[in-house]
Amino acid sequence: MDFFADISQIQITEQKFKESEVMAIKIEMLRCFATVAQTGNLAEAATRLYKTQSAVSMTLKQLEENLGQRLFESDRKNRLTPLGEQVFELAQNQLRQFDDTIKAIEAAIKSPKGLIRIASIPSVAGLVFPKATQALTRQNPGLRVELRDTDTQQVIDAMLRGQADIGIVSGSHKLNGIRQAHLFSDPFGLICSPEHPLARQKYDPTIQEVAAAGFVNNNLCSSIQTPEFQAATAESLISMHNTMSLIAMVRTNNWVTVLPQTVAQFMSHDLIFRRIKGLSDQRQVSLLLRERTPYLQFAEEFWAFLLGFDWSKA
């Protein structure tokens, strides 16, 4: 499989390549290069690739000859050149996309009666996936369903790359070829241990109290527009991007964070959610549907189910 058939699609300048007519970069060349770049030596890369070191070395040489420049600063292969760093990033992206495409093809072959791929933010996935999946498979015996829970940006990436048919995300996003609908809104509030002082006080905590109580920032906080909140939490020294790590911090009773209410309900029963005085922001949750999908019928059914779901009872 030829790679970079259209050089204009990448950001590396054309001067760094030979003429496109003689380009013969194969996907396995990129896999070989990426593996060597990850391991930092030929021996380990050869073991991972089930190849001999000489075969790996020859493949790298062919790739560098096609590019017309070195990818590693020395024969030790433990440090990339500036071009090598750029090619490494591009190669990783292309390999992920290629491998996902192969998996999708294999799944389609194994799914003669249909396949639907769903990507969602974790909090909503936990609320609705069990009921929605049961309803969809009951109506369509033999239908294969693939579910993945991940953050909003990765859901969007999966939709745009054709790796998901249905997506559920935080916020509103205008995407070409993607249908969007509002699902529900839920308020932001304090998440803390039941033993934390802010959990035990009688009145709702203020924004200033939350910010001063060991506040841990997280990705969803960036969607809160209240100026007072942004100002009070701007100096937070700790940010967590992984939900499980965030919850582990808060469970220690030394830290607090701010999350939407449905996230709090999904994550843990040994944490509490409290409204914050002066904070009225709500998270918007949106439903996405990829309009060019091979199994549009099933995507439409799932879409209809989610739009008719009673989120207040969830």
List CB contacts of 45: < 8 A, sequence separation 6 or more. Answer: 32, 35, 36, 38, 39, 56, 77
Whose structure tokens read 């996907």? Answer: 27
Residue 84 CA to chain centroid, in angstroms? 25
Q: Does one domain contain both 140 and 216?
A: no
Residue 251's domain spans which residues? 186-281
Phi, psi of 34 (to 5 degrees): -60, -40
What pairs with residue 285 in β-bridges? 170, 184
237-279 pLDDT per residue, tens:
899 888 788 888 898 889 999 999 887 777 667 889 999 999 9
Task: Report the pLDDT value the prediction gives residue 22, as an integer from 0 to 100.
Answer: 43
Q: Does one domain contain both 86 and 127?
A: no
134-168 pLDDT per residue, tens:
888 888 888 888 888 888 999 999 898 888 999 99
Q: Does one domain contain both 175 and 190?
A: no
Q: Does one domain contain both 34 and 167?
A: no
Would residue 313 count as lying in a domain? Answer: no
Find the length of the chain: 314
pLDDT band at 103 (very low <50, low <70, confident <90, very high): confident
Distance between CA 183 and CA 309 in Å, rounded?
Answer: 9
Q: Which two tokens stand for residue 185?
A: 């809104």
Residue type, 224: I
pLDDT band at 3 (very low <50, low <70, confident <90, very high): very low
For residue 42, pLDDT beyond 70: yes
